[in-house]
Amino acid sequence: MITFVEILIFISAMFFVGYPFFKRSPIGQGFSPADRGEAEASHYNELVHKKETAYITIKDLEFDYRTGKLSQADYMELKNRYEAEALQTLKEIDDFKVQEKGAVFCPKCGTKTKAEDNFCFKCGAKLPQG
């Protein structure tokens, strides 16, 4: 009886460990567009959460610095790191929004712009209208 229980526990543990390796990705083939939309919405929500977390962390750092819990060198190092993370996240959010609306690339410099733009914001070249 004990051997049977041990085998059952072992099989259950193997199932829970191995399940993620065999689970299909929601963005993979064979899924409906609604599933892809949910995955994209989830990714967008993760980006927004990451941005908000970085903002809160920066505010907490400032509070800790003003109350004397952090030295100026530590404060500046951490603040620069989290500001860079927040800026990168904001760029990812902007890129996500541009992909969502459709993007046009400048024929002169290759910069990604919005579909409704008439001119490239980087070099000023006229964009093709599709």
Lowest mean pLDDT among 15-19, 20-24, 44-48, 85-89: 20-24
CB burial string 12-35: b at 16+ within 10 A, e below: eeeeeeeeeeeeeeeeeeeeeeee
Radius of gyration of the chain, Cα coordinates, nearest whole angstrom: 24
The better pLDDT of the pair 32, 58 is held by: 58
| pTM for the model | 0.50
Percent of the chain clearing pLDDT 90 (strictly above)? 29
Residues in the chain: 130
Q: Are 36 and 27 in contact (CB under 8 A)?
A: yes
The answer to whether residue 30 scores a pLDDT higher than 50 is no
Q: Amino acid identity, residue 32?
A: S
- Tens of pLDDT, residue by residue over 52-100, are 999 999 999 999 999 999 999 999 999 999 999 999 998 888 877 766 5
